[in-house]
Amino acid sequence: MILAIISDIHSNKEALNAVLATIAAEPVDTILCLGDIVGYGPDPNDCAREVLARCTSIVRGNHDKAVVGLIDLEWFNSVAREAALWNRRKASDETLGALRTLPKGPVELDDGVVICHGTPMDEDEYMLSSTAVEESYRWIDDQQPGTLCCFHGHSHLPMVIERVGPKKQAKVHRNGSQVRLRPGSAYLINPGSVGQPRDGNPRASFGIFDSKSLVYRNLRVAYPVAETQRKILAAGLPDELAFRLAEGR
């Protein structure tokens, strides 16, 4: 089976459309979404509608929870808080209802695949520290020992973390375009962000995994950033949300 993995769309319709068009040209069997469909950007309803219609498995992200009022916004920075409240006002009842019922990760799928937003232990934790990586592998060993891939989002940084050697050390592949997975190992894979990349590359980021050949690819797609920026500024959202898109930060 060939899986497309998308995450952190953040109400960026132009980026999502570009990614979905690229996926349509690939022999993809199913699309998975790792959360944060909304927040930050200007098109919560269109993005929610497309993701809900196209994806077979979805887990919620922290911005999805924020927009529907499931978490306190006090720990968000001022820009994220303002954008979440704006998205809440603009989201339709249908969008809010659908986001409110999204499942909490982790969710176990077929072929040794687990999906979550942050880490498998905590949907709001970033997979950025050695502690988070070690605890995630411990969770896999204890809870889902047959896991080959744990796909996660949240940090907006594309990477593949591979457990190697007799001491099971973590090897990080950053921004690698292709990695062949080894049977019997376990991988923590972030496909990057569709709508707000933060690795210095403004192109939308997502992943494709072939469970037969065990090849994972990170793909980058250009989209009309200027149009998304125009809509953000016209909506009265914080200027920073527009400017950062062109810089990939």
Q: How many domains does the chain have?
A: 1
| 171 bridge partner residues | 162
Percent of the chain clearing pLDDT 90 (strictly above): 87
Element (H, E) at 23: helix 13-24
What secondary structure letter does DSSP report for 171? E
Residue 176 binned pLDDT confidence (cut-offs 50, 70, 90): low
Provide the token pair at 67: 């927009």
pTM of the entire structure? 0.94
| CATH value at residue 112 | 3.60.21.10
The pLDDT-based confidence of 31 (bands split at 50, 70, 90) is very high
Q: What is the pLDDT of residues 193-230, one digit of tens each?
A: 999 999 999 999 999 999 999 999 999 999 999 999 99
Q: Strand 187-190: give its sheet, edge to edge.
A: 107-108, 113-115, 149-151, 187-190, 159-164, 169-174
Distance in angstroms (rounded) separating the CA atoms of residues 41 and 162 = 32
Tens digits of residue pLDDT in 32-52: 999 999 999 999 999 999 999
Pairing of β 204-210 and β 215-221:
antiparallel
Domain range for residue 54? 2-247
What beta strand segments (E) does 9-108 contain? Answer: 30-33, 57-58, 107-108
Q: How far, in Å, are 114, 158, 166 from residue 188 at the CA level? A: 10, 11, 18
